[in-house]
Amino acid sequence: MKLAKSCVINPSSDVALVLGQLTYAAWKLWNIANYERKTWTKESGIPYPNWFEQKKRLKEHFWYKNLPSQSAQELLHTLTGLGGHSINSKKQVG
């Protein structure tokens, strides 16, 4: 069973501006990384972009640099289907 928590925030205009810029950068980085994965073909001669190689290659990209590094890494990790590793790595006791 998954538990979801929600909260409502009412950010000030300055905080809303920063949040808007961060979400825009995350959206752009997601699209770039996803495009690389979707357009990859076996005939291209390059290996399929795994999380580590894609992170290493995009590290110098403009949109990657506009996010905190942990957020950018987690975004790429989520795209590979491995996301949420910090939550899922906890052992269930029961």
Domain range annotation of the chain: 24-39+47-83
Give the pLDDT confidence of 22-78 residue by residue, as tens digits.
Answer: 999 999 999 999 998 888 877 877 778 788 888 888 898 899 999 998 999 999 888
Question: Per-residue pLDDT for 2 more than 80?
Answer: no
Which run of H or E residues covers position 31? helix 13-38
Considering Cα of 20, then 25, then 28, then 29, what sign does the dihedral take?
negative
pLDDT, residue 86, reads 46
Q: What is the DSSP string of 77-92?
A: HHHTT---HHHHTSPP
pLDDT, residue 56, reads 86
Give the pLDDT confidence of 35-46 residue by residue, as tens digits.
Answer: 988 888 778 777
Q: Share the mean pLDDT of the chain.
A: 82
